[in-house]
Amino acid sequence: MATIFDTIIIGGGQSGLACAYYLRRTKLRYVLLDDQPAPGAAWRSGWDSLTLFSPAAFSSLPGWLMPESRQQLPGREEVIAYLTAYENRYSLPVERPVHVQDVCYRDGIFELKTPKKTYHARTVISATGTFRKPFIPDYPGYSKFKGLHLHSSEYKNPDQVAGKRVLIVGGGNSGAQILAEVSRVADTKWVTLEEVTYLPDDVDGKVLFDQATARYYAMQKGEQPDLSRYSLGSIVMVPPVKEARARGVLKTVRPFAQFYETGVVWPDGKKEETDAVIWCTGFGYALDHLACLHLLIEKGKIEVEGTRAVQQPGLWLVGYGNWTGFASATLIGVGRSARQTAAEVEEYLLKTAHAAGY
């Protein structure tokens, strides 16, 4: 007979690991399925110079602080090393590489279909995040452009576009950080919907998290927070961005109107030759594996109460952003959602077992 797990976690990133940490405290039989060849999840695919926004002490998963960084902010390789050591420290039951293609539900049991086998579980925690769903806006003439389209998820280092004429599209932190290093080796323009704002130099991710937490709890109490206290800016001034500011390249322009074969057309009709576009335009939610459940998805989201799926008993979603738990897409913030999810899974299984008479 096929093994039926009490719960299966899909996704081996920070959210999946945090859930596994709390599940290990229970007597439940669980496994974590990760489609990557080694630990590190999306960090394995990040660009070479990618760093966290916060010091190591404020970028940790539950139970174990990230070791102090060799630099001001932990870099990509340090985060991968931490996630790898975290798995080993707690002997988490991870199987990889296992790509879950479909999650179906029949007769009270979830069937998780992968290329090699089908897993079975009484409950499922989906923790696949966003990295598998890069978003690029539907720009007029996109397919006509013969130059290079490169999403931030595909960007590795400036060598990919050295010596080229490059447009960097997107007003978030990825746009600022990629602009900072690409502008050293290429002719760049930074395209944003509106003028971006910058955080004070001494404000890092820890400060942002603390302020967001204060705002969250105020709203939970029914209080109306003073939003002016939380509107510090949008771009974190990590060292490369400060260096770019010193070179005078942190300048933005409003969006172009359309593409043509070898460049873009600006709103005033002027054409400009372009070799490459780096899209720093974010991600959607990686939920394709849940299509078999036929859940209603609005704006890419499934209806949840906390992290529990409203329409599907036995399904939880962790780490997709504030809609699945406050700050749940961050290393420091996911612990709260993971702890509550593990408790709810255990309670759900106890109730269903009691109802079934075993």
Q: How many whole angstroms separate alpha carbon 274 and alpha carbon 170? A: 17
On whether the CB atoms of residues 127 and 244 are closer than 8 A, the answer is no
At residue 296, the pLDDT reads: 82
Question: CATH topology for 142-198+233-279?
Answer: FAD/NAD(P)-binding domain (3.50.50)
Confidence tier at 169 by pLDDT (50, 70, 90): very high
Q: How many whole angstroms separate alpha carbon 176 and alpha carbon 244? A: 9
- Please tell me which residue, 175 or 332, carries the higher pLDDT value: 175
Q: How many whole angstroms separate alpha carbon 54 and alpha carbon 348? A: 36
At residue 354, the pLDDT reads: 66
Quickly count: other Cβ atoms within 10 Å of residue 255's Cβ.
Answer: 16
At residue 2, the pLDDT reads: 76
Tokens standing for residue 324? 């699945």
Tokens standing for residue 198? 């910058």
On whether the CB atoms of residues 206 and 212 are closer than 8 A, the answer is no
pLDDT of 351 strictly over 50: yes
At residue 92, the pLDDT reads: 97
DSSP-based three-state secondary structure for 53: coil
Q: Is 114 exposed, middle or buried (0-12, 13-18, 19+ CB in 10 A)?
A: middle
| Every domain of the chain and the residues it spans | 4-133+284-356, 142-198+233-279
At residue 233, the pLDDT reads: 45
At residue 201, the pLDDT reads: 79
At residue 229, the pLDDT reads: 44
Quickly count: other Cβ atoms within 10 Å of residue 353's Cβ.
Answer: 12
Q: What is the DSSP string of 136-203?
A: ----TTGGG--SEEEETTT---GGGGTTSEEEEE-SSHHHHHHHHHHTTTSEEEEE-SS---B--TT-
Confidence tier at 307 by pLDDT (50, 70, 90): very high
| pTM to 2 decimal places | 0.89
At residue 8, the pLDDT reads: 98
Question: What pLDDT digit, counting tens, does each position of 181-221 carry?
Answer: 999 999 999 999 999 988 887 766 566 556 555 555 555 56
On whether the CB atoms of residues 348 and 312 are closer than 8 A, the answer is no
Same CATH topology for 4-133+284-356 and 142-198+233-279: the answer is: yes
- Please tell me which residue, 327 or 300, carries the higher pLDDT value: 300
- Please tell me which residue, 327 or 167, carries the higher pLDDT value: 167
- Mean pLDDT value across residues 137-162: 96
User: How confident is the prediction for the chain on average, in pLDDT?
Assistant: 90
The percentage of residues in the chain with a pLDDT greater than 70, rounded to a whole number, is 90
Question: What pLDDT digit, counting tens, does each position of 210-254 carry?
Answer: 655 555 555 556 665 554 443 434 788 889 999 999 999 999 999
pLDDT of 106 strictly over 90: yes
Question: What pLDDT digit, counting tens, does each position of 254-302 carry?
Answer: 999 999 999 999 999 999 999 999 999 999 999 999 999 999 888 889 9
Question: CATH homologous superfamily of domain 4-133+284-356?
Answer: FAD/NAD(P)-binding domain (3.50.50.60)
